[in-house]
Amino acid sequence: MSSSNASPAQAQGPAQAIPPTPPFTPARRLSLRSTAGGVRKAIYFAILAGCVVIFTYPFLWAVSASFKPRPEVFDNALIPHNWHPSNYLDVFRGVAATAYKAPFASWLWNSLWIGVLAAVTVTISSALVAFGFAYFRFPLRNFFFGCVLATMMLPGVVTLVPTYLLWNKIHFTGPGTFLFLSKNQYPLWAPNLFGSAFYIFLLRQFFLGIPRELFEASRMDGDNYWTMFWRIAAPLARPAMIVTFVFEFKASWTELQKAIIYLRADQTFTIPRGLKVLLDLYGPSAGGQGDYQVIIAGTVLATLPMIIIFFLGQRYFVEGIATQGRKG
Amino acid sequence: MATATATAPGPRVRARRWFSGFGDRDTWAAFAFLSPWLFGFVVFTSGPMIASLIISFTDYSIIQTTHNVGLENYRAAYHDPQVRTALRNTFVYTLMSVPAHVIVALWLASLLARVGRAAGFFRTVFYLPVMSPGVATGILYLLIFNGSYGLLNEALRWFHITGPFWTTDPLWVKPGLALMISVWGVGASVVIFLAALKGVPQHLYEAAAMDGAGKWRQFRDVTLPMISPAIFFVVIINTIAGLQTFDQVYTAFFNASTPYGTSASLMYAIYIFQEAFTLFKFGYASALAWVLFAIIGVITAIQIVASRRFVYYEGQR
């Protein structure tokens, strides 16, 4: 307060000392500063544009290389000299010299339905649990919520072995189906039926922001707890639930560890697991012929859905990340 | 979060015993809503943790009969040269990737904070690599960082720099991985820092400028303290992630003919994974996992203690 009062007085000081200039000085200063600001802003934009090139170039390089014939993959030209779109067909039908034909379409399909199932189940279950934490007052609530927060910090590798043994014990690591779905794919999505710590935390924050009067009013109208959740809380929390859905779909689509542990037959593979097979099959380090154009085409096909879902749900990704950071 | 839960029960409620609410109808409804998580917590988290600890004291491996071996697994881990290699690689990688990640994220975020409405577009672009599946990033790393015909060394050649053999030279494997995984994937942290930067009140800068602080002093004495909670969060999260690095490195260096990768690329989480699921040494792998858990716990605790000196939380003096 005192500083803002003092500043006009200080500004007038030099202006009074040099009488002829006052009408011009502020204007000249202003224009000078704004051009300097403009130049500075232009520099910022130039630096950022350079960074944009660096950050997107690996993608552009991959898309470009996926259209090149085999000898030209590493020529690093942005526009292919010879277009060779049949690389994408080779992803599905295999390279002529290789006996193994990768069921790439099955991998895409598996990743898609497992991802959707994982995302839907985790969204619903986490929302239920989050509502329980947000709405009710019950004994040991803080203790249980502390447990939720603690599991966020737990390194996944600690539970990897016992979880595998558990699935193995109930015979979900071998062949066979259960409720029309392949048994050994269950470990990739079924744990999501029981909520996930980060999403519970995220959704609880959101539910806490809903005015309690809304729930009291709906209770007066004869809602029970379930309809209160389903008719009031869940629709209002739609943005947070979409955040949960897109985050989990991404997490499921990119999951590698579980896919290696649980998926045995190549028909049941997901995209990351399959892509690793392609790399090991065609890459020379593992005895392949070095058909990198096919590996890269597969990489592009695996990454493209993520780029699309990001552009569709961009707002929600940014929202989810910012919420995560705010609670640090 | 702490404030919300702390304000809820009034003084009268707090005086009640912790178990006194168990008779209420509300309580049963609450536990009904919590039941999926309660089940999952027991079956997929706390149960496996206890099981893992018990298994770590045995030589359990589906194939043979199990014996109690006491601390033998931990002793073996201490003398295992692969464990030392893996730990050294993992620490070096984490020590390189976390500072690089934080500095680049902070630098990009403060650039974005100055370009007004265009920031949204740039933020989107910087976030894109985060969407790339780990396997895809691992493959791109292998190709772009290739010493003889990779894109990176080609670009360096324009500047008359002879790039190293990133993927094979032991000295350059981890810097390359840190660049590809941690620095390229900086987008999420840029979003976090940008949100934090926007939250710094403008009048603080005005006051600092009034006191004669230059740009650098303003950054050091206003910006850094004000966004220190965000920095702390990003450091913690990325340290934990760095110590568990798996997908990209596994993709690039590990296959059936190289189950332990190369001595420069063997990461600790991958070593645990290979011991468990290619050799089925479940007891040993569980012990290794608990060692990692302890290491992460100690490092996080050190960071939390250190943060008390450096992190400034508003409304708390």
For residue A181, what are the β-bridge partners?
Answer: A178
Q: Which helix (H) or strand (E) holds B222?
A: none
**Band of the pLDDT at B85, cuts 50, 70, 90?**
very high
Closest CA to A225 of A235, A215, A217: A215
A254:B114 CB<8 A: no
The 3 state secondary structure assigned to A82-136 is: CCCCHHHHHHHHCCCCCCCCCCHHHHHHHHHHHHHHHHHHHHHHHHHHHHHHHHC
Preferred mutation among B37, B112, B232 to probe A, highest tally of A CBs within 10 A: B37
pLDDT at A135 (0 to 100): 87
Please tell me what DSSP assigns to residue B168. T
Mean per-residue pLDDT of chain B: 86
* Residue that the structure tokens 């277009």 belong to: A83
The reply to whether residue A299 touches residue B184, judged by beta carbons under 8 angstroms, is: no
**What's at B8, amino acid-wise?**
A
Give the model's confidence band at A7: pLDDT under 50 very low, under 70 low, under 90 confident, else very high: very low
SS3 per-residue string spanning B87-156: HHHHHHHHHHHHHHHHHHHHHHHHHHCCCHHHHHHHHHHHHHHHHCCHHHHHHHHHHHCCCCCCHHHHHH
Residue A275 near residue A283 (C-beta atoms within 8 A): no
Residues in Cβ contact with A35 at an 8 Å cutoff, skipping those fewer than 6 apart: none
Res. B105: pLDDT tops 90: yes
Mean pLDDT, chain A, as a whole number? 82
User: CA-to-CA distance for B300 and B168, rounded, in angstroms?
Assistant: 32
Residue B249 C-alpha, separation from nearest chain A C-alpha, in angstroms: 12
**Which chain A residue shows the shortest CA-CA distance from B111?**
A44
What one-character-per-residue DSSP string does B50-89 give?
A: HHHHHHTTB---TTS---B-TTHHHHHHHH-HHHHHHHHH
User: 3-state class of B258 per DSSP?
Assistant: strand
Give the SS3 label for residue B210: helix
Confidence band of A240 (pLDDT split at 50, 70, 90):
confident
Q: List the single residue in B125, B134, B143 with the smallest CB-CB distance to A56.
A: B125
Query: What is the C-alpha separation between A143 and A147, in angstroms, rounded?
Result: 6
Read off the pLDDT of each residue in A164-187 and give the average, rounded to a whole number.
84
Element (H, E) at A302: helix A292-312
More confident residue, B8 or A139: A139
pLDDT number for residue A25 = 44
- Report how far residue B299's alpha carbon sits from residue B307's, in angstroms, rounded to the nearest whole number: 12
B209: nearest CA partner in chain A: A3
Phi-psi sector, B192: left (phi>0), alpha (psi -120 to 50), beta: alpha
Quick one: CA dihedral B12, B14, B16, B20, positive or negative?
positive
Q: What is the pLDDT of residues A59-76, one digit of tens each?
A: 999 999 999 888 888 888
Q: Which helix (H) or strand (E) holds A251?
A: helix A238-254
Dump pLDDT digits (tens) for B215-246: 888 888 889 989 988 899 899 999 999 999 99
Residue A306: closest CA among B183, B127, B186, B194: B127
Query: For position A327, what pLDDT does the model report?
Result: 42
Contact: B13, A137; criterion CB under 8 Å: yes
Contact A153 B118 (CB under 8 A): no
pLDDT above 90 covers a percentage of chain B that reads: 46
Q: What mean pLDDT do residues A13-38 have?
A: 50
Could you give the CA distance from residue A313 to residue A248 in angstroms, rounded to a whole number?
12
pLDDT(A23) > 50: no
pLDDT in tens, B7-54: 444 445 454 555 555 667 778 888 889 999 999 999 999 999 999 999
| Topology of the domain covering A104-326 | MetI-like fold (1.10.3720)
Contact predicate B243/B299, CB 8 Å: yes
CA neighbours closer than 13 Å in the CB half-sphere of residue A312: 13
**Residues 233-252, chain A, touching B (beta carbon < 8 A):** 250
Q: Chain A to chain B, count of Cβ pairs less than 8 Å apart?
A: 289
**Domains located in chain B, CATH noted:** 76-310 (1.10.3720.10)
- What is the residue extent of each domain of chain A? 28-93, 104-326
Compare all CA atoms of chain A with the CA of B42 and give the residue at the minimum distance: A194
